[in-house]
Chain A
């Protein structure tokens, strides 16, 4: 069996057995469910940033597009979980198409600024239309609405498995992209887009596909987050939620399939443990991130790939 498959399916198996063997305490089980959904969001971000080389500063827009599409449809229209997920996926895909079409008229720093601005527009719209979205206060999705195929998604164990399934699907999809000829072109665009164009690739269209895939995965993760944890709020559309996936990917490994998971675990527990030590936990977080960026510039997994395991996709 191929090494890359062993690594990734091995990682998924570990996540499964940690739960099956009851290794997690209730606290860590909840944390990991959250991390897995957020890592799925990171995978979406990584498709655009890590593989295609487009740095977006506004991905909270896509995350919250899925979050609100599912949340509002459950809250206002009494959609069930399945219906709301389908709506969220379709809405995120369409939304990414529109935003991608507009934002890709720019490159480089302009692209970063434009995505940031779109994201802020989204955030302010959520606040402005408070009558529908309940603004800052947000919406709590009742336990009775969080049932899928007769399974109560608010139950911590079921929630963990649901998060693992979502993460696994995104990971396998990302792995497939990384190994496909489509993914190879994305990497070529990241490495040298002028050359990719001069080899006859429709670079603009590939970038647009990358935005759609990235935005849709992010939206799916957002929808799942709302459903699994029962809360839909404007804070998920704010700037920090655009920066988090960037940090996870940078820390975990830019353009590696498992990087977002490694980065999300690292960041989550770094903040968790640092805040046990002091109220000024951001000092510890900041120093640690500085050290990691100084000594592992490609991120933890990215550095391992660069130094030892070149086959890691």
Chain B
């Protein structure tokens, strides 16, 4: 159902030019509440630029972003995050000199209240890092750092969680764990997932959008995308 109530976020003709290069070109995009939406496309398609426009890391050259019925195009990044957009980085970006606890506590973004410890423990137990709570996060293995990055996204309790290639560089068993976790998070949060690993996309995404040279060339459920001849040829293999 394509009603406004159902839409969590949409863009209208959003564009971003980098010195004449159209990184994102007139994109009209919708994401519905409680879905897992995968955003795929080859390297350089503009995926990270596009989600950066959604969360405000990059200012759009034109167009608008509407989140929960409110035009957020002119809001600075921290206000968009406060309004309920969470973002996890493609290249792990944690506070390496702080402990695992402090990383998650910062993401919760509340005062040192009594509930903080419980909330941190709850999130860390979900991702399986509770036993490393006092460890310096820079000393964690790469896989654990990716988990911490995800935990920080979860701790924000966002309405929309943008995951930028969360499984990049992980082993198969770690990827399986991630898939379960993302499914688990999706029960309470809408997820926009940028992902190269088609196995991950096909097993957890509800719908898929395909970005190519800064434009959405296909949009729909997995079957539609799988059967789309252009997409099939270009991204999924024959």
Interface residues of A (CB under 8 A from B): 180-181, 184-185, 187-188, 191-192, 194-203
Contact = CB atoms under 8 A, between A and B. Distances in A.
A200 B82 contact: yes
Contact of B81 (A180, A181, A188, A198): A198
B152 A199 contact: yes
A192 B107 contact: no
A203 B78 contact: yes
Contact of B112 (A180, A192, A195): A180
Interface in B200-214: none
A115 to B, nearest CB: 25
B96 interface: yes
B81 A191 contact: no
Contacts of A199: 81, 106-107, 109, 152, 156
A191 B97 CA distance: 7
Interface stretch (B20-28, B86-94, B171-179): B86-94
Contacts of A191: 95-98
Contact of B55 (A184, A198, A203): A198
> Which of B79, B106, B152 has its CB near the most chain A CB atoms (within 10 A)?
B106
Contacts of A202: 76, 78
Interface string B148-185: 00001000100000000000000000000000000000
28 contacts: A180-B112, A184-B105, A184-B106, A185-B106, A187-B95, A187-B98, A188-B98, A188-B106, A191-B95, A191-B96, A191-B97, A192-B94, A192-B96, A195-B89, A195-B94, A195-B95, A197-B78, A198-B55, A198-B57, A198-B87, A198-B93, A199-B106, A199-B109, A200-B109, A201-B78, A201-B109, A202-B78, A203-B78
Contacts of B112: 180-181, 184
B5 interface: no
B14 interface: no
B102 interface: yes
Given A181-B111, A181-B112, A199-B106, A192 B55 contact: no
Contacts of B152: 199
A233 to B, nearest CB: 40
Nearest to B81: A200
A198 B94 contact: no
Contacts of A200: 78-79, 81-82, 109, 156
Interface residues of B, number: 26
B77 interface: yes
Contact of A197 (B77, B107, B109, B110): B77
B89 A198 contact: yes
Nearest to A192: B95
Contacts of A181: 110-112
A187 B103 CA distance: 11
B110 to A, nearest CB: 8
Given A188-B106, A195-B94, 7 more contacts: A185-B106, A191-B95, A191-B98, A192-B95, A194-B93, A198-B55, A198-B87
B81 A195 contact: no
Given A200-B81, A200-B156, A188 B111 contact: no
